[in-house]
Structure 1
Amino acid sequence: MTGGAVICYRKKTISGKMATGFVKMAGFTPIWMRLSGVRAFTTSAPLRASSATAVAVNDGAKKEIQLSEEERLTALKPLMPTGEVTIHEFPERDLVNFPRPEMAVYGGRTRLGFIPEEWFDFFHKKTGVTGPYVFGVGLITTLLSKELWVVEHEFPLIPPMIFLVWLAMTKGGPVLAKVADKELDEYEEELIAIQEDSIVALQEDIKQEEKSQWMAKGQGLLFEAKREAVRLQLEAEYRRRQMEVYRDVKKRLDYQIEIQNARRSVEQRHMINWIVGNVLKSIDEKQEKRNIDQCIENLKKLSSA
């Protein structure tokens, strides 16, 4: 990992619980991470590796992959999320000269166990291959000659301490890396399980919401059917009232017709009675007798014929 980057590591407390901490690298990655191959903590990584092997995760299937030392140390490209990520940047953001910092999975290559390779590359452009070593030896010589680094009675303890640290890192580093990676994998699996459970729960919520929307559409059809039923009821009531008006009007017209018929009948009877009465009054007894005789004479003629 280059200088200035930020990594996240997990350490084990006395009680056995795992805590998450952040370490800002001021110029180099810790020796124990570079030697043991402990990877940075990430939950979105599709490739999870220990010191010599990696586990590729593809659609839930796990496959063991053997990694060489060269591949393990040069796997510095950070693992990005597979999903689409929308990032809103301001127009004045200079991503060319000041790119977004990315977290690497492994520590960078080192020399002498703790000096970053980037320092040697920096000196190589200026002084060549031997430049960093000459600078280191010259710096130590200057500190000793100027007595900035005072040689005390504890000075001889530095070489054995360096040897013990190197021995601990080379022998115990891989074991520590396996233990840390195992615990990290378990913790990551828990997070993935929580994420998958959340996805399943959200999918169920989506199905319920779709069902609710479908039911709401059914409610719309039901409301429309009810409106249609109300319209039919209004139409039936309208026609009933129309029929009631028709019957009332017909009754009144029939009443007027009956009145006219009764009046005409009374007038006809009165006229007939008046005519008959006047005719009878105009006929006397002699004329009536002559009419009767004439009728009898006519009957006789008819009978003889």
Structure 2
Amino acid sequence: MELSRLGKPIAADTGSTPCSSKRLQFDKHLSMENVRKTVTEADGYQPHLIAPEQGYRRLIESSVVSIRGPAESAVDSVHAILKDLVHKAINETHELKQYPTLRVEVGNAAVESLERMREESKKATLKLVDMECSYLTVDFFRKLPQDVEKGGNPTHSLFDRYNDSYLRRVGTTVLAYVNMVCASLRNSIPKSIVYCQVREAKRSLLDHFFTDLGKREQLVYLKYEPPEFHLYYMNSCSVFYDKKVHGNHLKWDFRRELGKQLGKLLDEDPAIMERRTALAKRLELYRSAQAEIDSVAWANK
């Protein structure tokens, strides 16, 4: 089955695009003007009152949140691949061609199941992105003061916070952190997609369809129940019933219309039925001709 070999290619293809720095254009987002604006707004225009962490956090959140769009696109791309595989598998299954109604029902059930898997995959994938937005990796920033001390670059004065060198350092630090987050999501997002969509498609693509078929019972017997209880079922059951008086209660036998629906699933293709009838007639002619030939042969002996 092609689904068995689908996980690895999807992980490779999906991982190369959704968290690409070039595609997301973090450089433009972390430009000098945008960094200056964000840091100034985070400080409340009073840098001597508030520490610079708020500016870092806002820049990181606004950068990482841009990954949501490509992550959703990756989920949709895998969904399209799975739909194509389902349609291909249905078209190549010759047994389903004999029952067009069943073929349509199976296709619709498979697509509905894939839709549910896509929604679950989007929720799981976006949770990964939101998690990175809400909770920063503290160890990354703990190394920054050590790097400053090693480089001999003293900490800028609070009143010199908005000069170009400081803002450039903020943008570089945020870009390095965002690239680290992208490197992590580049591995975790494909895993989440394959787990929620490809794995579930292999395991339970038609489970809901089979469960629904199991519920389509032919007969339901309701014995010795109040009339109001039977009237409740009148809308969902067919016309056939048997009415008998037992004290203050009635006995009803209803035949579900779902039984008719189940029978319609096995309606054969009219073209195939006509072909079978024609072949049966031809076979009967061959047999009658063979019987006549045998009778003539025995008569001549």
State the TM-score, normalizing by the size of structure 2: 0.23
Report the structure number with the largest CA radius of gyration: 1
Higher helix share: 2
Higher relative contact order (CA 8 A, sep 6+): 2
Higher strand share: 1
State the TM-score, normalizing by the size of structure 1: 0.23
